[in-house]
Chain A
Amino acid sequence: SQKIEQNSEALNIQEGKTATLTCNYTNYSPAYLQWYRQDPGRGPVFLLLIRENEKEKRKERLKVTFDTTLKQSLFHITASQPADSATYLCATCPVGTASKLTFGTGTRLQVTL
């Protein structure tokens, strides 16, 4: 079956370090991946989209990579701050369709002083 997997364990890092979150997918051949941020009690907020022909995408302190060989996307936050503490979700659609955007379980990031 098709799966999008993220590390369910929380990631704890110190302020100023780079946080790296992983999104693995199986039985998918996605044309793109989306990344969202979700704060407690709020709806997810879109951050970045990376297409399969883009190896890397950047937005301010955020960087996303997409490795179709490893079937993996990595999400990096450089110079992390306590305000970056949240749950980060990756999502994609089955190939060839724009419907059924499916989310991973999300990884909670905690940035401490």
Chain B
Amino acid sequence: EAGVAQSPRYKIIEKRQSVAFWCNPISGHATLYWYQQILGQGPKLLIQFQNNGVVDDSQLPKDRFSAERLKGVDSTLKIQPAKLEDSAVYLCASSLPPEGSLAGELFFGEGSRLTVL
């Protein structure tokens, strides 16, 4: 079974530039997550989709970050303009729909490492 695919794996940009990350979840997984992981910290949820609808984006810096999941499959996360503090690994994860209040096991991609200079 194919896992969660992410690209690019690495990206280096200057501050104030823009960047986009792409994620293809496991087939059949209705729930898709974007997490930001800063070095030495745990993953921080940015946005959660259920099919193509947003479940939670309370921690997404909406002045510079945007995400979409057209057709309920692939997703893109965009940062514009980037700041130095956006340097992190951006992890995409997917899961089967929750069973009531029980979130399913998350399957993560390898991540996209962003360096902002």
Footprint of B on A, CB under 8 Å? 4, 6, 8, 31-32, 34, 36, 41-46, 49, 51, 89, 91, 93, 95-106
Contacts and interface: CB of A to CB of B under 8 A. Distances in A.
Contacts, number: 71
21 contacts: A34-B103, A41-B111, A43-B91, A43-B93, A43-B109, A44-B43, A44-B108, A46-B106, A46-B107, A51-B102, A96-B101, A97-B101, A98-B98, A100-B48, A101-B45, A101-B48, A101-B106, A103-B35, A104-B42, A105-B40, A106-B41
Nearest to A31: B101
Contact of A99 (B4, B56, B106, B111): B56
Return the 8 tightest CB-CB contacts between A and B, nearest first: A43-B108, A98-B98, A103-B42, A98-B103, A46-B105, A105-B42, A99-B56, A99-B55
